[in-house]
Amino acid sequence: MSYSKDMRDLSHGDDAAAVNDLRSAVMRLGRRLKHQRVDESLSPTEMSVLGTLARCGQATPGELARREHVQPPSMTRIVALLEAKGLVTLEPHPDDRRQKVVRQTEEAEAMLEESRRKRNAFLAGLAAELTEDEWAKLRAAAPVLEKLAHL
Amino acid sequence: MSYSKDMRDLSHGDDAAAVNDLRSAVMRLGRRLKHQRVDESLSPTEMSVLGTLARCGQATPGELARREHVQPPSMTRIVALLEAKGLVTLEPHPDDRRQKVVRQTEEAEAMLEESRRKRNAFLAGLAAELTEDEWAKLRAAAPVLEKLAHL
DNA sequence: CGTTTTCCTTAGCTAGGGTAATGAGTTACT
DNA sequence: AGTAACTCATTACCCTAGCTAAGGAAAACG
């Protein structure tokens, strides 16, 4: 344990292996989750966008695209689909007429709640296989993963 | 903290929120990593398969498909691509002529090493933004994520 | 033996992203 | 003020990476 905070040596074997495992695990689990979509008719990214909106209240398509690490045209399509499903509203931006403001509807709110319940039911199946200690590790790591995703 | 190991209450708010964050973070980071592919011309899943082979030494297409959570036809194509790139060999199975044995070549070994170096270079950029404590949390969680992916 | 099952493969399809090009609106620079 | 350069959203088109359905050959089972 002799690394400083700022210049950790990532070519060191142990860290390299850890990084490798982390990447592999994240990708595999991501594929898994993609299939375990709690709400039919709503893609994982659409869900994620709704989640973001729930936290931020509102956002422009460009902001959402950056946040989800998706290209603007993709976000245009996603937002359009969400609007068609009545989960989101699109208003003109007050200060800048190029932009638009995306806001979630009450239906979206309700749907997220419903979806959260289904998700928990699914995870209950997996929960039995993890110890309390393992769950604690996941909870601790979640914010870090989030941070990493936004770096 | 009053949950037993076996019957944790997953409808409890904190766990539900944690699970939500975890899912969101994993998916976003997955998308991110997908773009940061260290070796052009090699998809994330192909990389993952090579990683698995590096650990297991050899496997049948069916085993690989199960491990990567992919359907058999997909694995057939992936393996064929890897063979075309000279990263993998396909031999008939000694005991069962329906099956085949997939083994990685020396080129794959070398490529994985090279790729590991590139990956670390990329991660070094992110490393500066994380504290040692945060890295520790990630390291602790990686095996759990892996386990979760295989449940 | 014949039937059923297992493993891999072929063929055809789709979803969910990406790039390139466009148009309208804003900012910056004389 | 006028114009050049930039930014945001969109449109049009393409491509990757998975899927399902169907089939052929080998093994297992009765």
Report pLDDT for A14.
61
**In the predicted structure, residue B6 carries a pLDDT above the cut 90:** no
Tell me, what's the pLDDT at B104?
94
Specify whether domain A13-150 bears CATH 1.10.10.10.
yes
Which chain A residue is nearest to residue B47, measuring alpha carbons? A24
The position carrying tokens 């590096």 is B54
Contact between chains at A27 and B44 (C-beta distance less than 8 A) = yes
The answer to whether the beta carbon of residue A38 comes closer than 7 angstroms to any atom of strand C is: no
CA dist list (Å): B23 to A77, B89, B117: 22, 36, 28
Looking at chain A, how many residues does it have? Answer: 151
Q: What is the pLDDT of residues B16-72, one digit of tens each?
A: 667 777 777 777 777 777 666 667 778 878 988 998 898 888 999 999 999 888 999
Beta bridge pairs of residue B90: B102
Give the span between the Cα atoms of B29 and A70, in whole angstroms. Answer: 12
Distance CA A8, CA A80 (A): 44
Q: What is the predicted pLDDT for the residue at A8? A: 45
Q: Please report residues of B whose CB lies closer than 8 A to that of A138.
A: 18, 22, 141, 144-145, 148
Over residues A49-108, the pLDDT tens digits come to: 998 898 888 999 999 999 888 999 999 999 999 999 999 999 999 999 999 999 999 999
A61-CA/D3-C1' distance, Å: 29
Per-domain boundaries in chain B: 13-150
- Kindly state the tokens that stand for A100: 């638009």
Distance between CA A74 and CA A123 in Å, rounded? Answer: 30
Closest in B20, B120, B131 to A51, CB measured: B20
Q: Which residue has the higher pLDDT, A122 or A61?
A: A61
Residue with the two structure tokens 């994380």: B130
